[in-house]
């Protein structure tokens, strides 16, 4: 299965980027999980935790504040004016 190419970006720098199996984020409509092969999407993030599951099963979590999530051909971008790894 193809992997997701994820980057978490805040206004002043790229917070994290790498490959992942799954991304779980909270949008204004509720939590959403993204797996490889997801259709292109643009969603508004509600402030909160973003969980990225790495291929090894490890997890990276980040806090993102007012931003958005874009998915296009297995490239996932979490963009927030403020984002920090937790």
Among 2, 31, 33, 41, binds another protein (CB under 8 A): 41
Q: Is 50 in the site for another protein (CB under 8 A)?
A: no
Among 24, 32, 35, 54, binds another protein (CB under 8 A): 32
Task: Quickly count: other Cβ atoms within 10 Å of residue 76's Cβ.
Answer: 23
Rounded CA gap, 80 and 66, in Å? 6
Q: Segment contacting another protein (CB under 8 A): 7-15, 48-56, 57-65? A: 7-15
For 27, the token pair is 């949008």
Q: Is 61 in the site for another protein (CB under 8 A)?
A: no
CA torsion through residues 57, 24, 47, 43, sign: positive
Residue closer to another protein by CB (options 26, 56) is: 26
CA torsion through residues 2, 7, 63, 39, sign: negative
Q: Is 46 in the site for another protein (CB under 8 A)?
A: no
Residue closer to another protein by CB (options 16, 22) is: 16
């Amino acid at each position: 299965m193809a992997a997701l190419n994820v980057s978490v970006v805040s206004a002043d720098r790229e917070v994290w980027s790498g490959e992942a199996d799954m991304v779980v984020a909270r949008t204004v409509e509720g939590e959403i999980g993204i797996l490889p092969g997801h259709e292109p999407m643009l969603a508004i993030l509600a402030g909160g935790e973003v969980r990225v599951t790495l291929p090894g099963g490890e997890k990276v979590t980040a806090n993102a504040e007012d931003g958005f999530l874009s998915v296009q051909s297995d490239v996932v971008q979490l963009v927030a004016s403020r984002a920090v790894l937790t």
